[in-house]
């Protein structure tokens, strides 16, 4: 009987906690962000401007799904949200959904934030600040270290964005 009461109390507290953080909005956090350093030999797009990817885990600890729809940064003309399908990267027209209570990992060869038309060199050891915009109107800034990230077997963007890009 006593055990049952304690169990009930624990369940009630857990419910209260869930109700508290599971408010009916998205609560977004950015974890372990990085920006890939650029290699002047291989990272030109068709316009002759540099681009690179940014990777991180986006966590939504709130009670509503939210969609990453875009962003901006001082160091590039524009930002796109990309995915890689069959080795080809392409913009996600609908954005990237982060479900309530879940995390989505952005990584080489998968979802990523693309910084297009870089206006400066990005070398390992630099930092880059990026603002991400979400469907509910929130925008979140993050400052990420720039790192050398090797190509992996996933052939990130090997055939993407036209000839000569992201090889
Ligand atoms: Cu991309």
Span from the CA of 16 to the centroid of ligand 1 (angstroms): 41
Q: Tell me what the mean pLDDT of segment 20-49 comes to.
A: 73
**Total number of domains constituting the chain:** 1
Helices (H), the chain: 2-21
Residue 116: which domain range?
24-147
Residue 78 lies in a domain: yes
Helices (H), 32-162: none
* pLDDT, position 24: 80
User: What distance, in Å, lies between the first and last C-alpha atoms of the chain?
Assistant: 67
Residue 92 lies in a domain: yes
Residue 1 lies in a domain: no
The CATH number that applies at residue 47 is 2.60.40.1890
Span from the CA of 156 to the centroid of ligand 1 (angstroms): 8
- Confidence label for 140 from pLDDT (cuts 50, 70 and 90): very high
pTM of the model: 0.74
- Confidence label for 101 from pLDDT (cuts 50, 70 and 90): very high
Residue 7 lies in a domain: no
151, pLDDT greater than 80:
no
Nearest Cα residue to 77 out of 56, 52, 108, 60: 52
Q: Compute how many other C-beta atoms are within 10 angstroms of the C-beta atom of residue 90.
A: 14
* Distance from chain centroid for Cα 46: 24
**Ion ligand 1: residues, Cβ under 5 Å:** 82, 89, 114
29, pLDDT greater than 50:
yes
Span from the CA of 136 to the centroid of ligand 1 (angstroms): 24
Span from the CA of 37 to the centroid of ligand 1 (angstroms): 14
């Amino acid at each position: 009987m006593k055990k049952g009461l304690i169990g009930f109390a624990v369940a009630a507290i857990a419910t209260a906690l869930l109700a508290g953080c599971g408010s009916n909005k998205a609560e977004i956090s950015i974890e372990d962000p990085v920006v890939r350093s650029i290699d002047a030999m291989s990272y030109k797009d068709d316009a002759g401007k540099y681009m690179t990817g940014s990777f991180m885990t986006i966590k939504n600890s709130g009670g509503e799904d939210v969609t990453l729809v875009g962003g901006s940064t001082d160091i590039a003309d524009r930002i796109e949200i990309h995915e890689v399908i069959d080795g080809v990267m392409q913009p996600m027209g609908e954005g990237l959904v982060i479900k309530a209570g879940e995390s989505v990992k952005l990584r080489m060869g998968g979802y990523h934030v693309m910084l297009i038309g870089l206006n400066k060199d990005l070398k390992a050891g630099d930092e880059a600040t990026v603002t991400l915009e979400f469907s509910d109107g929130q925008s979140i800034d993050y400052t990420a270290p720039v790192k050398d990230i090797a190509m992996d077997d996933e052939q990130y963007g090997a055939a993407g964005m036209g000839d000569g890009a992201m090889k």
